[in-house]
Amino acid sequence: MPERIVVQSEGTMLDLLLWRRYGRRGQTLVDEAYRLNRRLADVGVILPVGTVILLPDLPPTPRAPQRRAVSLFG
């Protein structure tokens, strides 16, 4: 379920909000955030204080493929 937040400081940008919430993986969610917040692109790059934003859910971490260990000594 998307998280609802309110911009509380001046100079805040969407990618910064996503990075603060999700870390490095948040960089991949900018397009999804714009889909959830249809009129957000009309506001501009710097979000005004008081702007309500829905943050998308972070997709599950892809699992690394399982590899079979090979023993060289027996």
Alpha-carbon span 43 to 40, nearest angstrom: 5
Contacts of 32 (CB under 8 A, 6+ apart): 56
Of residues 36, 28, 31, the one with CA closest to residue 55? 36
For 52-72, what is the mean pLDDT? 87
pTM: 0.75
Each domain of the chain, given as residue ranges in start order, spans 3-55
Tens digit of pLDDT for each residue in 3-50? 999 999 999 999 999 999 999 888 889 999 999 999 999 999 999 999
- Which of the four pLDDT bands, split at 50, 70 and 90, describes residue 73? confident
Structure tokens at 60: 């599950």
Please give the helix or strand (H or E) that residue 13 lies within, else none: strand 12-13
